[in-house]
Homo-oligomer: A and B are copies of this chain.
Amino acid sequence: MQNSSENKGVKGITQESFPSSKKIYVPGKLHDIKVAMREIHLSDTKDRQGNVLKNDPVTVYDTSGPYTDNDIEVDIEKGLPRLRESWIEARGDVQKLDGLSSEYGRGRLNDQSLDSIRFAHYNTTPSKAQSGKSVSQYYYAKQGIITPEMEYVAIRENQRIDELKQKYKYKEGCEKFYRIPSTHITPGFVRDEIAAGRAILPANINHPESEPMIIGKNFLVKINANIGNSPTTSSIDEEVEKAVWAFRWGADTIMDLSTGANIHETREWIIRNSPVPVGTVPLYQALEKVNGNVADLTWEIYKDTLIEQCEQGVDYFTIHAGLLWEHIPHTIHRTTGIVSRGGSIMAKWILIHHQENFLYTHFEDICDILAAYDVAVSLGDGLRPGSQSDANDKSQLGELKALGELTQIARKKHVQAIIEGPGHVPMHLVKDNMELQQKYCDDAPFYTLGPLVTDISPGYDHISSAIGGAMIAAYGTAMLCYVTQKEHLGLPDKNDVKEGVITYKLAAHAADLAKGFPGAQYRDDAMSKARFEFRWKDQFSLALDSEKAMQFHDETLPDEGYKSTHFCSMCGENFCSMRASMEVRELAEKADQKKREFAQKGNEIYL
């Protein structure tokens, strides 16, 4: 296995399959679709008698897109294949526009000085719902329609587990975690969950490159990675590579939080090359347009930004529409005030203008825009607690109630909605957050940032937040926004992004196990079997981070021969419990054999 970080394809983009893995495509039954998955091939088990036993390959959920398919060479100048384009067209409810609808978008397009950095196959003719038509997955689901997108996620979530003998039964725990229904995930089930508003399938009609995925408590827990929040200029290749890097390691969605110059063009490059849904906080760009002067923000500028981004293909927007004037006085005596960027901007705007939050007053208008492109709304928690001391306080819970109100408006307008959550919360208050969110927001999916379970761990906040994240996900949170080890301190680099993504994959997977997700334990069991049988290479292949697992192993035992030895450097040869345990097994089996022989001869049992 080569170090993928050193193995770059065209223009410095990481393109390499995972070790011992092959991209496979599972066909649909209702629709002409092919669902991408990763199949990990394992070596044979050789027992002490010299028998060779095959190990079935392990199929896992794969967010990495075509970049890890050895048969595909991605050219980021052309963008990814437009997987969903024919599905969207076949529904006959969208229109190709003559040009861009946003003033800002047109301005950028007509600016010849930007030609050199512009994506060549620019989406100059975006699509939009035909007048009077609804084009959201939520609307289709309400009509009883199973779209190709819905069948795709049904197959994807099952990870071919229905083809395998399903021996991974849920062990009843005394802990009251959320437990997913015992039904298999079928296309009909997917549709029903979306129709109930309990799950969303973010799928902007202008982002046909995305591979459908679903966010809801009855599905695998998803994770989001934030990228592009660099105030320094970086080349477009670097920005695309950051995105590719994030979903390579497991990001189910990415949020582009770029600020600075050329974010319009950079975003285009990212979306055209992203197989996962892309989220943004449009307020950031709107604020850039008024040179950072909060007082100058207007609904018109914000609206134009929404349309600009809808037509580029952003799949979901964080919108801080629930932070109301009446909540602000409650924040004054908080330990850490308002820690959400969007939240602090809107609070400032409200107080400067002595007017209610324009995102709230214009929320119906916002929904009308989003619905025309099937952009989902992620209702931002501008008042999330930024410290243990502020957790579950009046401001936070007041805003959460307002988000519940807005959820109903979004649904009325056929806009898919999820709710953002904290933040910093001590462990004993985590469950409350989940229960109140489900209650106030009528079962809409919860999307939390951690939460961090202590404030005193700068440098380790990916861990502090993974503890809270695993717990809140086990209680039913549908998606976790990762936190990197640089949180509270500085800008994450590529390594921090990877560490953060893997840490969150781990937390999400732990929650899948706790929720009794069918087949979740399948990969753990394959890993543990490989571990017990000293199949080191299989352990690396099955690991969330194969590179690091191998690197750590090789630090003390680098020779290739040590990858087939029956011990590692941790305990050494003579103190290897696994090795001794294998001998115990043999001894016990022999004893068992003797016992049977004795029993046949009428003698007493001695094991």
A513, B328: Cβ atoms closer than 8 Å:
no
**Quick one: CB contact mask for A504-536 with B, threshold 8 Å, 1 for yes?**
001101110111100001011101110110000
A544, B581: Cβ atoms closer than 8 Å:
no
Among B336, B513, B574, the residue within 8 A (CB) of A532 is: B336
Describe A's contact surface by its main secondary structure: helix
B335, A229: Cβ atoms closer than 8 Å:
no
Interface locus among A47-55, A211-219, A271-279, A341-349: A341-349
Q: 29 A-B Cβ contacts within 8 A?
A: A171-B429, A175-B429, A175-B431, A175-B432, A177-B428, A229-B570, A231-B572, A294-B580, A336-B531, A337-B582, A340-B577, A347-B580, A347-B588, A348-B580, A386-B532, A426-B514, A454-B509, A454-B513, A455-B525, A456-B506, A456-B509, A456-B524, A457-B545, A458-B545, A459-B545, A459-B551, A467-B471, A489-B552, A490-B555
Q: Cβ of A515: which chain B residues have Cβ within 8 Å of it?
A: 428
Q: Cβ of A388: which chain B residues have Cβ within 8 Å of it?
A: 513, 521, 524-525, 528
For residue A173, CB closer than 8 A to chain B, the reply is yes
Q: Give Cα A529 to B335, complex, Å.
A: 6
Interface locus among A9-17, A62-70, A186-194, A480-488: A480-488
Interface size on A, residues (CB 8 A): 129
Q: Cβ of A430: which chain B residues have Cβ within 8 Å of it?
A: 173, 175
Q: Give Cα A578 to B337, complex, Å.
A: 7
For residue A120, CB closer than 8 A to chain B, the reply is no
**What distance in Å separates the Cβ of A338 from its nearest Cβ neighbour in chain B?**
4
Q: Cβ of A454: which chain B residues have Cβ within 8 Å of it?
A: 506, 509-510, 513, 524
For residue A25, CB closer than 8 A to chain B, the reply is no
Q: Cβ of A196: which chain B residues have Cβ within 8 Å of it?
A: none
* Nearest-CB residue, chain B, relative to A547: B459
For residue A352, CB closer than 8 A to chain B, the reply is yes
**What distance in Å separates the Cβ of A30 from its nearest Cβ neighbour in chain B?**
32
Q: Cβ of A369: which chain B residues have Cβ within 8 Å of it?
A: none
A341, B173: Cβ atoms closer than 8 Å:
no
For residue A410, CB closer than 8 A to chain B, the reply is no
A490, B389: Cβ atoms closer than 8 Å:
no
Interface residue ranges, A against B (CB under 8 Å): 171, 173-175, 177, 229, 231, 259, 284, 287, 292, 294, 325, 328-329, 331-332, 335-341, 343-345, 347-348, 351-352, 354, 386-392, 424, 426-432, 435, 453-460, 462-464, 466-467, 470-471, 474, 485-491, 493, 502-503, 506-507, 509-511, 513-516, 521, 523-525, 527-529, 531-532, 539-540, 542-545, 548-549, 551-553, 555-557, 568-572, 574-578, 580-585, 587-589, 591-592, 606-607
Which 7 residue pairs are nearest across A and B when measured between Cβ atoms? A173-B428, A387-B528, A344-B580, A337-B581, A459-B548, A427-B514, A231-B572
Q: When A463-B503, A490-B553 are in contact, do A427 and B470 touch as well, CB less than 8 Å?
A: yes
A585, B337: Cβ atoms closer than 8 Å:
yes
Q: Cβ of A332: which chain B residues have Cβ within 8 Å of it?
A: 585, 588-589, 592
Q: Give Cα A424 to B341, complex, Å.
A: 39
Known: A427-B474, A428-B474. 16 other contacts (CB 8 A): A259-B574, A329-B607, A335-B529, A337-B578, A345-B580, A347-B584, A454-B510, A457-B544, A459-B543, A460-B502, A464-B506, A467-B506, A471-B471, A487-B570, A489-B570, A491-B556
